[in-house]
Amino acid sequence: MSDKYVEMLRSRGYRITPQREMIIEELAKTNAHMAAEEIHDSLKSRTKSLNIATIYRTLEMLVEEGLACRNDLGGGCVVYAITRHGPHIHLVCRLCGQVIEADYELLTDLGYKLKQEYGFEADLRHISLFGICSKCQREQEETRS
Amino acid sequence: MSDKYVEMLRSRGYRITPQREMIIEELAKTNAHMAAEEIHDSLKSRTKSLNIATIYRTLEMLVEEGLACRNDLGGGCVVYAITRHGPHIHLVCRLCGQVIEADYELLTDLGYKLKQEYGFEADLRHISLFGICSKCQREQEETRS
DNA sequence: TTTACTGCAAATAATTTGCAAAACT
DNA sequence: AGTTTTGCAAATTATTTGCAGTAAA
């Protein structure tokens, strides 16, 4: 599943190390967005020591090659995902931290209007919006009563 | 011009120090968004030593009181602005850094749909969208030719 | 006079970097 | 063999925190 990405890198002259394979596999096997530290935790059970610096370097390389996308969720939280993943909206819950992926279609009209009215070419392909998810809304209401 | 904010804080029980006045004045005198460090640089020419920690603490307080809004521009760049007017969209140009304020109305439909389809209560009042402004688009085209 | 606020310096947290050793090709 | 890449530890950057002294109210 991650072989496609590995071959792509090899053909571009990158060396394929077990560390790089593991990182790509970890990202590719899930649709989730992962922080560098999460990838580290997840993999260090399998290997004794995969250094965090190597993870940062590999992620940076993947983003440069267009194989991964980087998402700054604010508050110092940065996550990465494999690009196969088409464009989508990240709905980040301020209370529980959950990230919901919403349909990109909801933004096409906005993108069009920003271009028309302000001449601004917005990159809306992986934006993050903050708010409260439905579960936390319910919990807030229960607490209030 | 910043007196309004100062009085608002005083009435809420905060003590008004020269440091706080300067920081508020600096933010209020411009429409620009400023990073903590920028405020520091801008003010330390006027005063010998206004500590950066005080700036962070004041900014946090202003945000909590709803007098300023904090904007995480990604890549470790966090800026603050006085919330002088109602909600708006920040259009941040990736090339020249210019921030255009766009009409909040453009988001009402999106907010409604996120609530309907995902149960997500998004806070869209001061979001930042990234892209290329019209001026930079033109410059890019000229360079290409 | 009371206690919030400031400055300072040390602590954090997330990421980056220099460099010698290890390992792809 | 020759050059990338890794691990480690130290450096960086942005922000936060503890604490004793200062100053609003």
For residue B109, the surrounding DSSP H or E stretch is: helix B108-118
Least confident of A13-17, A30-34, A67-71: A30-34
B6: nearest nucleotide, CA–C1' criterion: D24
Please name the member of A106, A124, A134 whose beta carbon is closest to the beta carbon of B129: A124
Beta strand extents in B5-111 (DSSP E only): 68-72, 78-82, 88-93, 99-103
Q: Does residue A36 reach within 7 angstroms of strand C, measured from its CB? A: yes
Which two three-digit tokens encode residue B100?
């255009």
Residue B101 sits at φ, ψ, to 5 deg, of -100, 125
Chain position carrying tokens 């069009």: A112
In angstroms, the CA B8 to CA B21 distance is 12
And the tokens for B50? 């206004």
Q: Which candidate from B107, B123, B133 shows the least CB-CB separation from A131?
A: B123
> How does residue B86 score in pLDDT terms, banded at 50, 70 and 90?
confident
Kindly report the pTM of this predicted structure: 0.83
Phi, psi of B93 (to 5 degrees): -80, 125
Tokens of B111: 């907010």
Domain boundaries, chain A: 1-84, 87-145
**Looking up tokens 């508020």, which residue turns up?**
B24
Q: What's the fold here for domain A87-145? A: Dna Ligase; domain 1 (3.30.1490)
> In Å, how far is B79's CA from the nearest CA of chain A?
12
Nearest residue on chain A to B106, judged by CA atoms? A110
Which CATH number does the domain B1-84 belong to among 3.10.450.50, 3.40.50.2020, 3.40.50.300, 1.10.10.10? Answer: 1.10.10.10
Answer whether any strand C atom is within 7 A of the Cβ of B39.
no
Average pLDDT on A103-110 reads 95
Strand C reaches within 7 A of the A104 CB: no
Give residue-wise pLDDT tens across range A48-105: 779 999 999 999 999 999 999 898 887 788 999 998 777 889 898 877 777 888 999 9
